[in-house]
Amino acid sequence: MQNRKICVVVTARPSYSRVKTALLAIRDHANLELQLVIAGSALLGRYGNAVEFIESDGFEIAEKVFMVLEGENPTAMAKTTGLGVMELSNVFYKLQPDAVITIADRFETIAASIAASYQNIPLVHLQGGEVTGNIDEKVRHANTKLADLHLVASEDAKARVIKMGENPLKVFNTGCPSIDLAKEIKESPELDFDPIVKYGGVGQIIDWKKGYIVVMQHPVTTEYESSKEDVLKTLEAVNELDIPTFWFWPNVDAGSDGTSNGIRTFRELKKPTNIHFFKNMEPNDFLRLLANSRCLIGNSSVGIRECSYLGVPVVNIGTRQNRRQRGSNVFDTTYNKEAIKSAISDRISTNSIKSEVIYGDGNSGKRIADILANEPLSFHKTIAY
């Protein structure tokens, strides 16, 4: 029997960590052939050049798709998605995959879903069924309705996908592959590298070895006009607390220009001595950094997923993760300097944070590969159930 060709489209920095162990399992499976397509901001240096980490991990890339339009506003997002449909349609026509995998809820992922669906290629959606309350949720649910096979990350998500009318026999709770990486870190959590020596970054050389916090704050696409003001409030709070801090650059979304501009403005005017900035890190290194931190601050889903499993305290700011299932490690607050300071102080002094298994047990990648190898593939939803 000929191996199934599984085309996985990675469009952004966080998507790689979300799917890395699944890529490994697909590549190494006796009955599967991995076709890896890297697209969008994963190819761009200003957003961390994730493609370099992917290549250094030994993956062979079948195609690269440059599709990001400048602007960092809703119109640029829409045009980027449209360009992605055009370019990915050509890629799928060339590669002739047996199935295409699209990941989660980034705005450009729907381009892969449309390009595959209109060419009658079975579409597999990872991490559907979750809620967040902004454009990401709309994209996630749209991907779900276009998809033919659903590999979700939690029982809550599985139930929601089925309620959306999807065939229960086509919905599998595999857990999230990012938890596979977190499991590796949890079993051997020592911070075995110097982040500044290994990754450089910009800003002051901070004394992080006696304890540090991590910040990852992205713009909210439905509130993109306030992104600069929002990040400045977090910067002020972190600066006033004077705790050694590793701060990561935002994703490419509407409002990321505002977030980036806010960071640059603050650095120039306030010259913070306790903050060091990075664009990106290898997924395992980033999780190891988180596992040894006192707290994660911002609005990244890593605080909801991996940090829950690792037992890392989290201050979640604003609405970006609205309604997403979370653990007791997460404290929610608003864009208010004093509220953020208070929340950080509360979290770093809490000793009762425990690991919680919400988004997987650390064996997702193999489960995903096995399902892809054995589950009947189709590109229609006419089967009665």
- CA 202 – CA 196 distance, rounded (Å): 9
Q: Looking at beta carbons, which pairs linking 329-335 to residues 24 or more positions away fall under 8 Å? A: 329/303, 329/353, 329/356, 330/303, 330/304, 335/226, 335/229, 335/230, 335/233, 335/234
Residue 19 confidence class, pLDDT cut points 50, 70, 90: very high
Residue with tokens 């701060």: 247
Q: Angle at CA 35, nearest 5°, toward 34 and 39?
A: 135
Assign 3-state DSSP to the chain and report helix, strand, coil percentages, each to 5.
Answer: 45, 15, 40
Question: Residue 13 has what pLDDT?
Answer: 86
Residue with tokens 């990075």: 278
User: Which run of H or of E encompasses 353?
Assistant: none
pTM: 0.91
pLDDT score recorded for residue 14: 84
Q: Check whether 385 has a pLDDT greater than 60.
A: no
Instruction: Look up residue 220 and give its amino acid.
Output: V
> What percent of the chain clears pLDDT 90, i.e. is strictly above it?
85
Share of residues in the chain with pLDDT > 70 (%): 99
Q: Which of 11-20, 145-154, 237-246 has the lowest mean pLDDT?
A: 11-20
Taking residues 216-235, what's their average pLDDT? 93
**Minimum mean pLDDT range among 127-141, 167-181, 371-385:** 371-385
* DSSP assignments along 44-80, one per residue: -GGGT-HHHHHHHTTPPEEEEE--PPTT-SHHHHHHH
8 Å CB contact between 216 and 300: yes
Rounded Cα distance, 72 and 219, in Å: 10
Q: How many Cβ atoms sit within 10 Å of the Cβ of residue 200?
A: 10
Q: Of 348, 270, 345, 337, whose CA–CA distance to 312 is shortest? A: 348
Q: What are the pLDDT digits (tens) for 318-367?
A: 999 988 999 999 999 999 999 999 999 999 998 888 899 999 999 999 99
**What is the chain's mean pLDDT, rounded?**
94
Residue 224 confidence (pLDDT): 84
Q: How far is CA 32 from CA 58, 102, 127, 248, 375, in A?
A: 17, 17, 21, 35, 12
Average pLDDT over every residue of 219-233: 92
Q: Please say if the pLDDT value at position 254 is more than 80.
A: no
- Torsion, CA 43, CA 23, CA 100, CA 361, rounded to 10: -120
